[in-house]
Amino acid sequence: MFDIHYAPEVFEAKSQNKPIVALESTIITHGMPYPQNVETARQVENDVRDAGAIPATIAVLSGQIHVGLEDSALDTLAQARDVAKLSRADLAACVARGGNGATTVAATMIVAHLAGIAVFATGGIGGVHRGAEHSFDISADLHELAQTPVRGVCAGAKAILDLKKTFEVLETLGIPVIVRGQDTLPAFWSAQSDLPAPLRMDTAQEIAKAHQTRHAMGIPGGQLICNPIPQAAEIPNAELAPIITQALNEAEAQNITAKAVTPFLLNRIFELTQGRSLAANITLIRHNARFAAQIAAEIQALQ
């Protein structure tokens, strides 16, 4: 039906019980322009290695599920223009048809779980879009976190979303939202939002323990760890808010819907900030990768 192709270093890490961090690939194909996308993907993998774990970037290539992408596969993916954006709804169809696809947070979690990987890193998760009361646009990432036992490190939900509604839904779904080292939720490109942190923990060890306890109690689903962007790299909320509003208005005027919404907004904000949003995005994903590696190592140590 399907098989999983492991990159050699991931295969070895699995057999030696080394900590592994899964990485999504939609950020490469739909979240960043070429060549920054491929450069960032490699840097992020090296950040995971430097922090003591093995990176496993996940994608579907010619119908085969890849866990860990070798250089040539990553290059192909980063430059290809016909790569599908895969979430829970389309992952299996892409495999069945022999297609190429990049995995969102939701699909990355599904594959990570199949591969026995406990932790993933991303930039920002999907969530409840502004105006969701009309569009019903709520990312499948949220329901995935509720049911699949993989822990994710992000810099918050992307600030293009309705953050208040996003965190309400996370609470409704019973997903622990843990903020690292501060009492407010971060807002992706900004270190601070005006929303309180549902839970605060300051070390990877505490987070790993919370994970183990949930698992031991038989509570299904994952955990979301919000790791604020380092202050020096942030774009403050006040500065970004009018730009996000402009991008949202343009999306509405151009009738952008469904899967196209997030990539459209990220690209417009990149243009409107003259690339500053991309620089911030690169810093935060690298920061998340390092913390995810520490959490993966702590989980491994507890087992």
Residue partners of 295: CB distance under 8 A and separation at least 6: 119, 151, 153, 204, 207, 208, 211, 225
Q: Is 90 in the site for ligand PSU (CB under 6 A)?
A: no
Q: Is 124 in the site for ligand PSU (CB under 6 A)?
A: yes
- Smaller CB distance to ligand PSU: residue 13 or 190? 190
CA contacts within 13 A on the Cβ side of 185: 25
| Most distant pair of Cα atoms in the chain: their distance | 53
Count of residues of this chain found to bind Mn ion when the rule CB under 5 A is applied: 1
Residues of span 8-37 touching ligand PSU by CB under 6 A: 24, 26-27, 30-31
126-145 mask for ligand PSU (x: CB under 6 A)? x------------xxx----
Q: Is the separation of the CB atoms in 228 and 156 below 8 Å?
A: yes
Residue 183 C-alpha from the chain's centroid: 22
Indicate which single residue of 7, 84, 94, 105 sits in contact with ligand PSU (rule: CB under 6 A): 105
- Please indicate whether residue 250 is annotated as part of the active site: no
Q: Is 259 in the site for ligand PSU (CB under 6 A)?
A: yes
- Smaller CB distance to ligand PSU: residue 13 or 112? 112
Q: Is 90 in the site for Mn ion (CB under 5 A)?
A: no
Nearest approach, Cβ of 235 to ligand PSU (angstroms)? 14
Q: Residue 24 binds what, of ligand PSU, Mn ion, none (CB under 5 to 8 Å, by partner type)?
A: ligand PSU
Give the bridge partners for 275, in sequence order: none
User: Which tokens in the block code for residue 15?
Assistant: 């057999």
- Please indicate whether residue 85 is annotated as part of the active site: no
Catalytic hit among 24, 45, 234, 298: 24
Query: Going by DSSP bridges, is the β-strand pair 20-23/54-61 parallel, antiparallel, or unpaired?
Result: parallel
- Smaller CB distance to Mn ion: residue 14 or 85? 85
Of 170, 177, 223, 172, which is closest to residue 200 (Cα–Cα)? Answer: 177
Q: Is 55 in the site for ligand PSU (CB under 6 A)?
A: no
Nearest approach, Cβ of 105 to ligand PSU (angstroms)? 3
Nearest approach, Cβ of 140 to Mn ion (angstroms)? 7
Residue 173: exposure state from Cβ atoms within 10 A (0-12, 13-18, ≥19) = middle
Nearest approach, Cβ of 217 to ligand PSU (angstroms)? 27
Residue partners of 102: CB distance under 8 A and separation at least 6: 24, 25, 26, 28, 29, 30, 59, 60, 77, 83, 84, 85, 86
User: Which tokens in the block code for residue 30?
Assistant: 């739909």
Task: List interacting residues with ligand PSU (CB under 6 A).
Answer: 24, 26-27, 30-31, 104-105, 122-124, 126, 139-141, 259, 262, 266, 281
- Contacts to Mn ion by CB under 5 A: 137
Active site residues: 24, 158
